[in-house]
Structures are given as structure tokens and as C-alpha cells.
Structure 1
Amino acid sequence: MPPGNPGRLAPSLAALVLLSAAVLPAVLEVASPAPFDAIGSSGPVPDRAVPPHTTAVRADLRAVGTAPTVDIRRTGAPANRITLVLLGDGYTEDQQELFRRQADLAWHALMDIEPFRSYQGFFNIRRVEVVSPVSGIAETENHSRKPNTPLGMHFWCEGTARLLCADESATARYAGEGEGPQYLIALANSTEYGGAGGTGVTTLAGGSPDAGRIIQHEIGHTVGDLGDEYDSAPDDSDYPNLAAVNAEEMSRTHVKWWHWLGAQSPDGGGTVGAYRSTNGVYRPTADSVMRTLGGTYNLPSREAIIEQLYRRVSPMDPPVPAAGAVSGRPRLQVRPVALAGPRQLRVDWRVDGVPVEPQTPDRTWLDTDTLALAPGRSVNVSATVRDTTDWVRDEAFRDQRMTKTVTWTLKG
């Protein structure tokens, strides 16, 4: 979704990059202003196309845009999952194993941070093994040289040293069209420090020692539509984790993260409030991964990410049998999208509006043979799948997007 109101094009940052990795924990640096987008190649905002960052690389090299594709993790049908598509640039045929290792480290790092850890079942992971005729990409010391790499990745994008960009149209061609939403993640064969997020392609240097922490930050822009919380970021409050008003005004007017004020921060470092950065914009907590690499997402950011996931993924895969009229006494089954950990989506069953208890501990199926139906009488059996996480406090959104009910009609 675009920042601010849906359908409104708001100028902000195309991608937000990082200062030298020599300072740990690293603080983030800002790129030059450009359209900020939070969708992948098949996202739901067709009126906000982001142009490719570069078209200087030889067009004929990328004209076909095909490469071996491997599904390395599949949690469900792509139509109801978000597919993370990992592509490499500057990896020769002999370096494909290096790309595979670096790609695995990247997506594992992403799934190590909440809320992605708990909601990893919402993602399929695919790897596209793009073979480059040359090793490496255009780095800082040779940024005037443009190697003939398939994705055209290079540092010094838009005049910013650590901003790592790719030809988005070429990357999309290699990724291909998916059955459902996709986010494209391009890894450069480089050990240099940098990356980008929030546009059609999230980028990082696959060989950087900080690659895992970089993707945790950059994907916050891309998936959660989050803004940067560090002091040197632009004074743009048009993101769910940034505000132009203090806590008192939030509480009085019920704007931004007012419903989180006073909650304990996930990192144990204080409570959610309104912390003023030197650029004049307020952030929810003293620190977070959107401010300092290696941190955690604060509660308003977690909620924003989860809500974006549910804008793309239904809490339930198609039931068995399909909803509607059914004959006989079938076993009715729902298929909630699985969470990682002990908490799962809640399932409640009703017969003509009256709650009934299913036969299994996970509550995912109901044996209709146990229902006493009078001959010739029809009943409606419904199952409701609901995400009850306390990481979301927007109950209207929970009712609209995080809850789904299916109904079957049985005749006695």
C-alpha cells in the first residue's frame, strides 16, 4: 500500500541506506528523495509504478530474462502466500553455490526477527539462479564502470555511495509472474556495505558481514511501508511508525499509534511513547531496527507489518469440501494458515449459530455424523478462523482482514 491514504502518490524515499559497517550497531543514512513504494513486482498498487533505477546495462544481455528457478520453501499455494523471490547479480556460473549460501543466510535472517518469525508460514521462498558473464558489480571505488551484469546492480545509485540499486524491469523479468503477491530481493555479489528497500526490488550486498541485519531493516520499508526512525531521515511523518504530533496529541485525537501508548517495548528498553528525533519527527520507541541495525521492530511497526501481510494473505486456505451445499455427512475441514510457535489461529464452529465443539485439539475439522439432524431439515455449519494476536490492536482491521468465516449447508 502507498504511504498515507491509499491511491495518493506521496514523495518520500526510494530506498534508505546504511552508514559504514565499521560502527556497530550501525545507524542508517538517507538517500535522495524519490517515490517510495512498498510492493513487489505483482503488488496491488498499479497506479504507482516505480521506474527502473538504471537502464545503462546492455539491454540484449537481459532481453530473455530466464534463469533456473528453485522453490526452496513452500508453505502453501502461491495464490494465498507471499513469495519472496531471491535473485543474484554478478555471480558467475562457478559462483552459483556462493549465491545459494548467501541467499539462504538472507532469508533465514529475515525469519529470525519478529513478526516474520511467527508469520513465516505466510511466505513461500523461491531462488532464481541468474548467471552473470562477469563476477561482481559496480562498487564504490569503480562506480563509474558498469559491468555487464544481468540485473545491472550498482552502488552510488542516485549519487549516494551506499545506495545499492538494480534494474527493476530486468529483475522483474527474471523473477517472472507469480500466482500471488511477490517481493523481489536482489543480492549483489559484493562484500561492500549497503542496500535499499521500499521500491520494487529490495537490495543488499550478499557478501557483506551485515547482510542479515540489512535485510531486516530494508524489508521493513518494503513489506511494512515503514519509514526510517533515525535522526538524519527526512522530516516525513507519512508512515505508520512516524508522527508529526506528540503523545498527548495522539491520545487526544486517536491518531497514529495512540492505542499503543504506554505498552512495554519488545526489547524491554522502555514503553511506547512519542520520541522526538532531531529532524522533528516522532518515533514510537527510543530505538528499533528502523533506527539501528540489529534492533527489533517496535509494536506499532509489528502491527503495520502484520496488517500488510493480511492485506495479501487470507487467514484461511480453501476449505474441504468447498463452502456451500454439501450432501451426506462429510467431515468438514478448514485450513488456517499455520503460525510458527504454540499460538495458532483460532477456529470456532457453529451450527445454525449455536457454538459446537469439534473433535480435534486443533479444532480444524468437524465430523457431521455427530450432529443430530432431523430428516429433511437443513442446517448451516460455519467455521470462523481468527488471528487473536495481541500484536494488533486495531480491532476493526482484525474483524475485516484477520477473520474469515465459511459456511456449509447440510440437509438432514
Structure 2
Amino acid sequence: MRRLLVVTILLGFFAVQPASGQLLGYEVIHGDSSPANRFNIILLGDAWMKEQMAEYRQVCKNLVQGLLTESPFFEYSHCFRILRLDVASRDNQVSYEGEPRRDTAFGITIGVDPATARPNGILWFPREYSLRVQYLNRVDYVLNCVPTAKTFNLVVVVANTDHIAGTAVYNGIAVVTRNSRVQPQVFCHEVGHAMAQLEEEYTGNSCPPSSEPWQANATLDAGSNRFRPKWAHWMGTQGVSTFLGGMGCSYGVLRPANDCMMNTTKPNVVAASGIFEPNIVPFCAVCRERIVQRLYDAVVPIESAVPSGSVTLRPFERAPTFKVTTVEGPRSELAVVWRLTQEGFFSNSYEYLSTTRVLKTAVGKTYELALPFSLSSGFTYRLECFVSDETPLVRKWPVPYRSTPADYRTYTKDWTIRVNNR
């Protein structure tokens, strides 16, 4: 009887203190339930104990609100799906380099400068290769426990520490902290790195690179770059020019803005009250453009189309109503154009048609086209619907994305319509 009592007490203890890495639940906190055709961000917590989950959820809510009120995430909020996973840890503080490792879900570690024994601002997985692999495998395991978390574009680990830090890897994982003074800005900054492959714009003691940076917001201070940088199409507007310093270098590198979210994320102190207030600096025009470009690598503005395939008609039969549903929010700048082409001998014969009706849907709008005339028997037609984003946030799309009928990123849905002779 005594042994049974001891076993019962132990089981009760472990039920209260779940093992680090145990998934307690999950919730879509922004966007649709399905991850299809969205930019999917997964939030994971590290060093949050079971009894701290309510606080963790509030921190995640603040992060998401901060991100989606910042341009261009504000204008394109309808393109994002953000999923929060509640993962428990045994310890409620992250580890520090050189100190005994704490038992947390993902082993996030704050780097320590050996010379000063002070935190150096690096917040990441352990340096030791075996430990790093172990914790990254745990990330994969947790994601695989949630069917809709297997499809993701970015994973963000929210570390339970007030230390001001953040780290990101292009096209991969970002780590931010719970620090309320700069939390939303650091989150936006790290998403800029991980999602849009943006470079640091602050200066420091690093030496400039020997070759031209491939990132959109940095270029070498060499040749004609001061006068014709890669962001020349923005020069002279919205404060864009060439400013000395960037990539952690005080010389040899040029950045597009005097200040930007990729430069300043530290808080200001209000002298009168001594209260910290966020030093909110928006993304510059060059960074905003790059974020929108990268978003369209994951999201197609055409959500669905009806009919799904080609159409065959009898003589004098009216064509069905064609429908295209877009991913579109209240601040979208989408343009929809229809073009009908008669193929064969008269293949150059075409005309542009106007949308018959526009309906609002849960994901955007549905554009309908009812052909205003009957199609000639014995001919084949091609109907195309062009959906273009004419946002002023982008002035120059990458060359492979340019398409008719406009010099914007354009997506096309087309149908083949065959009209029989009998």
C-alpha cells in the first residue's frame, strides 16, 4: 500500500511538471485554419513552465499585434497565418554560456563575452554541435505533432528572458525574447532577417565584406554605388539615399536610409519620468519592398477559380460564368483584367473584357465574368484572367516576375473554351 502511494505521488508530480518539450496545446492566433497559400509563422516558447502559459500566450499576442501594425505587414496581414504552440519547460529561465545548462524545451542560450563575462546579445541554440542537433530535432518533433504546423515558412522561438536580444537565420528560425520594452520591434527586425533576408543596417567595428552583398538593403561603397545603388529606383523619395555604414561596419558599406527598423530597435528613456518607451522606427522603403517581394514567393493572389478546367460548348450554347477568387484584404491594390483570344487562323483576334460582378468572400473577393456574347461554332478560344498587385510599396519587381499586361507581379488563370460544330 505504501509503494502504491509513493507511485501515485510521483505520477501526480510529473503530471504537474511536464517534461521539457511537451506540447500542451496550440492555437491559430491570426489567419485561416488552413496553411494552404499563406505565409505561415509558427511561434514556439522556450523556458516557459506550464503555470506560465497564460503569460506566454499574452506575450505572443503582443508580438503578433506589433508585427501586423507595422508596414508592410499591416497592408498584407491577410496573407499571413500565425500558429502558436504551447510547449512546456521544466525551468523558467534560458541558459547562459559557461553556466550549468537549464532544462528548457529548446535549449536557447544567451552568449557571454569571455573578456567581460557579460551577455553579448547573441541568443541562439547551444554552440555544441551535438546539443544543437538535439534541440533542433526537438523542434521538428513538436512541429510534427501538429498536422497544420508541418507547413511553415518561419519558426520563431520566444525565449522567457528580459535580456534584450534576437537572432535569425535566413529562411529558417528566429529567436526573440519576452522583453516588453523592445519586444515588438525586435520581433519585426528578426522577421525582416529571416523572411526577407534583410541585412543589418547599424554600424560597428566590423570590417566591410570583400564582395558585393546580395541583400537588398546593403551595397559596397565602391564605384558608382553612391550614385546608382541597387535601390536607385527609390533614390530621392521617402528619405532613401546612400548613407555610410551598415552590416555592422562604420565604413565601406552603404545603407538606403538614415534610420530603419533594420537599424534601430533599442528603447529610448523618457527623462522626465524615467519610463522606457519604444523607439519605433519603421522599415525603410527598400526593406518594405523586399518584404512584399518575398511574401509573394509563398502566397499566390489567386486562391481558386471556377470552372477548374477546360470548357466544351455546343453551338449557340452560352458559356458558364467564370470566377476567380483572390487573396485580398481591405488595403490590397489588386487589379483584375480578363482577355479573350480566338485561336487558330484568327489567333491575333482578342479583346479585353470587364468583370461582370465582384463579391466579397472570407479570403478576399470573387471576380465573375459572364461573356456578353455567344462564341462562334468550330473555334477554340483562350480566356485569361490577369491578377496584378499594383501596390505603391513595390516599384521594381524582379525581372522573371514581370508579365503582361502590366509591369507588376502578375498571376494568370486561363481556360480553353472549345465550341463544337454540332
**Please, which of 82, 105, 108 is the counterpart of residue 153 of structure 1?**
108
Match of 1:172 in 2: 140
Match of 2:25 in 1: 68
Correspondence for 1:407 among 396, 414, 419: 414
Provide the residue aligned with 2:243 in structure 1.
275
Equivalent position SS for 1:130: strand
Q: Say whether residues 1:313 and 2:285 are aligned partners.
A: no
1:30-71 per-position Cα deviation (integer Å, ceiling 9, x unaligned): xxxxxxxxxxxxxxxxxxxxxxxxxxxxxx966x86552222
CA change 1:340–1:67 in 2 (3 A) is: farther
Deviation at 1:256, TM superposition (A): 1.5
Change (3 A) 1:392 1:398: farther
RMSD: 2.8
Quickly say closer, same or farther: Cα 1:247–1:291, change in 2 above 3 A: farther
- C-alpha deviation, 1:398, in angstroms: 4.4
Question: CA–CA distance in 2 between the matches of 1:68 and 1:161?
Answer: 33
1:203 aligns with 2:175: yes
SS in structure 1 at match of 2:59: helix
Q: For residues 13-24 of structure 1, what are the structure 2 equivalents within 5 Å?
A: none
Aligned partner letter, 2:392? D
1:245 matches 2:182: no
Q: Tell me the SS of whatever aligns to 2:402.
A: helix
Question: In 2, distance between residues paired with 1:219 and 1:99?
Answer: 19
Pairing 1:162–2:162 present:
no
CA 1:351–1:172 in structure 2 vs 1: closer, same or farther (change >3 Å)? same
User: Secondary structure at the residue paired with 2:236?
Assistant: coil
CA distances 1:134-164 after superposition (whole Å, capped 9, x unpaired): 2222258xx6131111111121178653211
Work out the CA distance in 2 between the residues paired with 1:172 and 1:340.
35
The verdict on how the C-alpha distance between 1:383 and 1:207 changes in structure 2, with shifts beyond 3 A counting, is same
Q: Are the aligned partners of 2:334 and 2:389 in contact in 1 as well (CA < 8 Å)?
A: yes
Structure 2 residue identity aligned to 1:275: F
Match of 2:70 in 1: 113
For residues 151 and 71 of structure 2, the distance between their equivalents in structure 1, rounded to whole angstroms, comes to 23
1:298 aligns with 2:321: no
State the match for 1:372 in structure 2: 374
Alignment-derived partner of residue 346 in structure 1: 335
CA distance change for structure 1 residues 346 and 367 in 2, over 3 Å: closer, same or farther?
Answer: closer
Is residue 83–residue 180 contact of structure 1 (8 Å, CA) maintained in 2? yes
Gaps of 5+ in 2: 1-17, 126-134, 266-279, 342-349, 360-364
Tell me the equivalent position of 2:235: 261
Classify 1:318/1:326 alpha carbon distance in 2 versus 1 (closer, same or farther; 3 Å). Answer: farther
Change (3 A) 1:179 1:409: farther
Paired residue secondary structure (2:84):
strand
The DSSP-based 3-state class of the residue aligned with 1:336 is strand
CA change 1:317–1:65 in 2 (3 A) is farther
Q: Please tell me whether the aligned partners of residues 89 and 151 of structure 1 are also in contact (alpha carbons under 8 angstroms).
A: yes
Q: Distance in 2 between matches of 1:335 and 1:250?
A: 44
Greater Rg, structure 1 or structure 2? 2
TM-score, length-scaled by structure 2: 0.73
Which sections of structure 1, spanning at least 5 residues, go unmatched? 1-59, 266-270
- Which whole-Å CA distance do the structure 1 matches of 2:234 and 2:371 have between them? 46
With CA pairs under 8 Å and 6+ residues apart, which has the higher RCO, 1 or 2? 1
Give the match's secondary structure for 1:220.
helix
d(CA) in 2 for partners of 1:251, 1:335: 43
Deviations 1:189-240 (A, max 9, x none): 2222211122532111124321111111111111111111111174245121
Partner SS state of residue 41, structure 2? strand
Post-superposition Cα deviations, 1:252-287, rounded to whole Å, max 9, x if no partner, equal 5xx511222222x2xxxxx31111122321000111
1:80 to 37, 44, 54: 37
Distance in 2, Cα, partners of 1:406 & 1:179: 28
Query: Greater strand share, 1 or 2?
Result: 2
Q: Tell me, what secondary structure is at the counterpart of 1:162?
A: strand
The alpha carbon displacement at 1:130 in A equals: 0.2
Distance of 2:112 and 2:327 partners within structure 1: 39
Match of 1:337 in 2: 327
Note closer, same or farther for the CA distance 1:180–1:111 as it changes in structure 2 (3 Å cut): same
Distance 2:291 2:90 in 1: 38
Checking the alignment, whether the CA contact within 8 Å between 1:66 and 1:173 is kept in structure 2 is no
SS at match of 1:94: helix
Distance 1:371 1:66 in 2: 59
In the aligned structure 2, how far is the partner of 1:371 from the partner of 1:68?
55
Q: Aligned partners of 1:398 and 1:247: how far apart in 2?
A: 29
Query: Residues 76 and 385 of structure 1: is their aligned pair in 2 closer, same or farther, counting only changes over 3 Å?
Result: farther
Q: Is the Cα contact below 8 Å between 1:89 and 1:149 reproduced in 2?
A: yes
C-alpha separation in 1, matches of 2:46 and 2:353: 55
The equivalent position to 1:358 in structure 2, one of 341, 355, 358, is 355
Q: Does 1:130 align with 2:87?
A: yes
Distance in 2 of aligned mates of 1:132 and 1:84:
21
Normalising by the residue count of structure 1, what TM-score does the alignment of the two structures yield? 0.74
Tell me which of 46, 52, 56 is aligned to 1:95.
52
Q: 1:313 Cα deviation (Å)?
A: 1.8
Count how many residue pairs are aligned between Structure 1 and Structure 2: 341
